Amino acid sequence: MGTYKIQSRGVFMKLAYWMYAGPAHIGTLRVASSFKNVHAIMHAPLGDDYFNVMRSMLERERDFTPVTASIVDRHVLARGSQEKVVENITRKDKEERPDLIVLTPTCTSSILQEDLQNFVDRASMGADCDVILADVNHYRVNELQAADRTLEQVVRHYLEKAKRQGCLDLRKTEKPSANILGIFTLGFHNQHDCRELRRLLKELGVETHQVIPEGGSVSQLQFLPNAWFNIVPYREVGLMAAEYLEKEFGMPYVSTTPMGVVDTAHCIREIQSIINSQAGHEIVNYQSYIDQQTRFVSQAAWFSRSIDCQNLTGKRAVVFGDATHAASMTKILSREMGIQVVCAGTYCKHDAGWFREQVASFCDQVLITDDHTEVGDLIAKVEPAAIFGTQMERHIGKRLDIPCGVISAPVHIQNFPLGYRPFLGYEGTNQIADLVYNSFTLGMEDHLLEIFGGHDTKEVITKSLSTDTDLRWSAEGQAELSRIPGFVRSKIKRNTEKFARQNNLNEITVEVMYAAKEAFTQ
């Protein structure tokens, strides 16, 4: 290992079982492999190409994932990986004739002091394709930040290249047009959202100029500025590229996520004002379109007035997910359905400020964390009637017997439905209404069954995710507890235990339960 020194020897460890956002290289690979004819080469040990399995399994991809590894092994450790990396790049260039190769560093590269940029420079001399080094550091950014950064890097690379070659054409398309930035592989319902957005734009008379990175071609990137404006549907990925395009080419962008009836209308009005200001005078007015869609096409506005939704009034929910989906969902539940969001949270710690601002007036409490046990404990404590979260929250819900609708990545294969399931636009509002309604009614049916003695044989005493309490329940106490209807049982259990603890009782008998009840009703 002679050629390597360690950059930083102070290592901090934390005990982790589960993470919401993956390592940086995953973000880079997701962006790179979404483009057509772009190949990513990871600088990584054997086994780190698990990305290919995920893409092939979750997205059920028919094509080989254009990601290979330039493998770091003992041999490479001893001699440096320059030769191998350069060789792998030139080989891939010949085999696949890609437009671009993205050399992708991993956690392993981050601690090896190798000049990967130098390898890229060398390799690009012999290769026909473009070669770039993804500018991401494992220890500084997570999957989502890396994806955002990589998309910007690729866009910048091709615009600067066109500028250098003097072939940059900044003329706008004749009719209003937009690019959609940030649709990519393994994104939560991205494909469906993209289709819905295109449809929306079409109905607004706006031509979809380019969608990147999914299905996009890097050779077309130099024409991005021909569109009138950009749309960034998700906070997490695309903003950096949009900001770059605004700064360099004066392209305005819309970053309001068109999720839910109200925000979809917001988004459309923003599009309207951008188009009119680009045109210099009013050429579009979408008010009647919004009105028509809201009242008659989308079922969500009507749903919110219907008796069904009335029954949801004041029901308590917890929302957790990435910043985009958690914020939008919180607003929909609170503003459009009259549901009480007791806690809204996100694992996008790097975007905490924005998130707080978005949800501040729509929930009782904000939670910013990437520690799933914190989320689990909070849910166990507040006992909502439903959860809207990621796969992790779904499992927390299972253990606590609380229904959960999945609204955000990280996701499993069932979150890649074959049927049409957008979350954005007017069809998205219908899907979300179904999701919310089904989550709550399932929960209610369950409780009704329990009240009428439907299936009351299961163990009822474990509603806490944290470690077991020091308290003992007597047999009569337990029997009494099980007679209490399901939906209030855990609350009564908790109050009783709290009472017992306050009074230094370590066994809970029927008497203690009644005493607790009196104490709490006073």
Contacts of residue 61, Cβ cutoff 8 Å, sequence gap at least 6: 55
Near other proteins in 344-363, by CB under 8 A: none
Q: Which is nearer to other proteins, 106 or 293 (CB)?
A: 106
CB of 46 to ligand SF4, least distance (A): 6
Cα separation, 494 vs 492, whole angstroms: 5
Cα separation, 319 vs 327, whole angstroms: 8
- Residue choice 2, 8, 166, 522 for contact with other proteins (CB under 8 A): 8
Near ligand SF4 in 23-82, by CB under 6 A: 45, 47-48
Specify whether the CB–CB gap between 508 and 497 falls below 8 A.
Answer: yes
Q: Which is nearer to other proteins, 47 or 419 (CB)?
A: 47
**If you count them, how many residues does the chain have?**
522
- By CB under 6 A, the count of residues binding ligand SF4 is 5
371 binds, among ligand SF4, other proteins, none (CB under 5 to 8 A by kind): none
Handedness of CA 231, 236, 238, 244 (dihedral sign): positive
CB of 15 to ligand SF4, least distance (A): 17
Q: Which is nearer to other proteins, 21 or 326 (CB)?
A: 21
User: What is the C-alpha R_g of the chain?
Assistant: 27
**In this structure, which amino acid lies at residue 142?**
N
CB of 41 to other proteins, least distance (A): 10
CB of 44 to ligand SF4, least distance (A): 7
- By CB under 8 A, the count of residues binding other proteins is 60
* Residue 371 known to bind ligand: no
CA angle 134, 135, 136 (to 5 degrees): 100
Residue among 308, 364, 401, 434 flagged as catalytic = 308
CA angle 368, 373, 379 (to 5 degrees): 75
Q: Where are the beta strands (DSSP E) in 356-458?
A: 366-368, 386-389, 404-406
Task: Collect contacts of 96-99 with beta carbons under 8 A, ≥24 apart.
Answer: 96/37, 96/39, 96/66, 97/37, 97/128, 97/129, 98/37, 98/38, 98/39, 98/66, 98/129, 99/37, 99/38, 99/129, 99/130, 99/217, 99/218, 99/219
Contacts of residue 173, Cβ cutoff 8 Å, sequence gap at least 6: 207, 209, 226, 227, 228
CA angle 300, 442, 484 (to 5 degrees): 130
Q: Which is nearer to other proteins, 8 or 522 (CB)?
A: 8
180-205 in b/e burial notation, b at 16+ Cβ within 10 A? Answer: bbbbbbbbbbbbbbbbbbbebbeebe
DSSP 300-353: HHHHHHSHHHHTTTT-EEEEEESHHHHHHHHHIIIIIH--EEEEEEES-GGGHH
Q: Which is nearer to other proteins, 69 or 183 (CB)?
A: 69
> Counting contacts by CB under 8 A, is residue 53 touching other proteins?
yes
Looking up tokens 């855990």, which residue turns up? 490
Cα separation, 44 vs 114, whole angstroms: 13
Piece in contact with other proteins (CB under 8 A), picked from 53-61, 282-290, 315-323, 474-482: 53-61
Q: Which is nearer to other proteins, 76 or 433 (CB)?
A: 76
Contacts of residue 161, Cβ cutoff 8 Å, sequence gap at least 6: 130, 222
CA angle 429, 210, 285 (to 5 degrees): 55
- Residue choice 156, 161, 395, 494 for contact with other proteins (CB under 8 A): 395
CB of 83 to ligand SF4, least distance (A): 21
* Residue 443 known to bind ligand: yes
CB of 45 to ligand SF4, least distance (A): 4
Q: Which is nearer to other proteins, 45 or 80 (CB)?
A: 45
Cα separation, 503 vs 288, whole angstroms: 64
- Residue choice 2, 12, 164, 418 for contact with other proteins (CB under 8 A): 12
Near other proteins in 399-458, by CB under 8 A: 412
Near other proteins in 92-111, by CB under 8 A: 95, 106-108, 111
Q: Which is nearer to ligand SF4, 108 or 496 (CB)?
A: 108
Near ligand SF4 in 91-120, by CB under 6 A: 107-108
- Residue choice 15, 125, 167, 418 for contact with other proteins (CB under 8 A): 15
Q: Is 456 a catalytic residue?
A: no
194 binds, among other proteins, ligand SF4, none (CB under 5 to 8 A by kind): none
Q: What is the rounded (10 degree) CA torsion for 175, 181, 185, 190?
A: -70
> Counting contacts by CB under 6 A, is residue 143 touching ligand SF4?
no
CB of 119 to ligand SF4, least distance (A): 20
Cα separation, 204 vs 199, whole angstroms: 9
Measuring CA to CA, how many Å separate 74 from each of 37, 57, 261, 386? 32, 31, 56, 51
- Residue choice 54, 103, 200, 319 for contact with other proteins (CB under 8 A): 54
Binding mask 365-394 for other proteins (x = CB under 8 A): ---------------------------x--
Residues at the contact surface with ligand SF4, assessed by CB under 6 A: 45, 47-48, 107-108
Show binding-site residues for [4Fe-4S] cluster. Answer: 48
Show binding-site residues. Answer: 48, 443-444
Residues at the contact surface with other proteins, assessed by CB under 8 A: 1, 4, 6, 8-19, 22-23, 25-26, 44-50, 52-54, 56-57, 60-65, 68-69, 71-74, 77, 88, 95, 106-108, 111-112, 138-140, 142, 392, 395, 398, 412, 467
Show binding-site residues for substrate. Answer: 443-444
List the catalytic residues. 308
